[in-house]
Amino acid sequence: MVDKYFQEDKWWVSPYNFDKTVLGQFNIPARVKIHDATLRDGEQTPGVVFRKEDKVRIAQLLDEVGVDRIEAGMPAVSREDFEAIRQISSLGLNAEIFSFARAVIGDIDKALECGCTGVVIEIPIGYPKLKFQFGWTWEDVLRKSVECINYAKQKGLYVVYFPYDTTRARYDDLVNLLTGIMKDSAPDSVGIVDTMGCALPEAMKFLVRKAKELTGLPVEVHTHNDFGMAVATELAGVTAGAEVVHSCVNGLGERTGNAALEELIMGLRILLGMDAPYRLDRLLPLSRAVEEISGVKLAGNKPVVGERIYTRESGIGIDMVMKKPLAMFAVSPKLLGREGEVVLGKKSGKASVEYMLSVLGIDGLDDEVIEEIAGLVKARGTEKRGLLTAEEFTEIVSRFTANH
């Protein structure tokens, strides 16, 4: 049996992820689905607008990756959104196409007109929302939910019940709501929604277990990244038994964004060792396309898809970046269709210079010369507050090789 933490030339992560004591704390489902909300929640990133053709293109790229569900948008927003969802539904993609709806019958009708197979029905349950924004009680939420859920079910839609801001709900309100829903209008699944990104992973585990206990339904987790833990919190939900995780490409979404699709896929496949049938080699093209369309520039150190995550400027054994990537990284760049990169700057030393000289096919320089070149590289990097270009390095080297 191959150890899950190590796959030849692919990845080498912590073996403690798969220690029997650790695994004994998990209740991971045999299959976890990804519900991607880039076309709805991702577009809620301030300033981001996806036109119809953009949504169709992104949906096709999501399908290439193998995402299980695509939340194609909210048809009530505009006629163009309605038409985009309808066109995506007609493409014959492998992914199931869902729409987003308020607890309003008219929104359900629009989902049906668009040809969706499922609908996410949202309604607030977080106490700050009920108290300050809506002036509702949990009884009001239940009453408004029942008719809409039953109507959608009668029309043959798969219904995800989405009581949002779940992680800030009063405990009794949440228990009463979920108990009441199961009595009067059981959906197909229920979401635990960390709308404000303020729940610890352990809190998400608790809520997933409680929702399963109260409903017996599949549980879906949807998180935001206000404290930088959206992906960790969703993976924690999976270890407690959640069957569906929600995502947005590149972590787009309101405020600090949603759980990033590419990070979730890597977490499920590699950190949790699941047989997740997603094409890792298609993540980068998807990410780059969404970056271009959205206009939201990715940080160079963005996990999984950042431009600089396989770049090394310093370190003994710098040649391992190319020769044995798993000595330097947890995941091989080649798994994602990428290459490692060695760059030169202030933090570069003799090993980096020797490696770059070998790339240029230059050998035979003695140690003193190499040390001098390294010193000049450091000085240039410090002066320009950045990395050296290939031309700058070649110019420095030429001072010592002109008569070599």
Which regions of the chain are under pLDDT 50?
1
33-36 vs 341-342, strand pairing mode: unpaired
Cβ 314 vs Cβ 347: under 8 Å? yes
pLDDT for position 3: 85
pLDDT for position 316: 76
Question: Global pTM?
Answer: 0.95
Residue 178: alpha-carbon gap to chain centroid = 28
Domains of the chain: 6-294 (3.20.20.70), 311-401 (no CATH)
Nearest one of 150, 38, 36 to 96, comparing CA atoms: 36
pLDDT for position 314: 83
pLDDT for position 60: 98
pLDDT for position 1: 39
Measured at the CA of 269, the angle between CA 263 and CA 275, to 5 degrees, comes to: 145
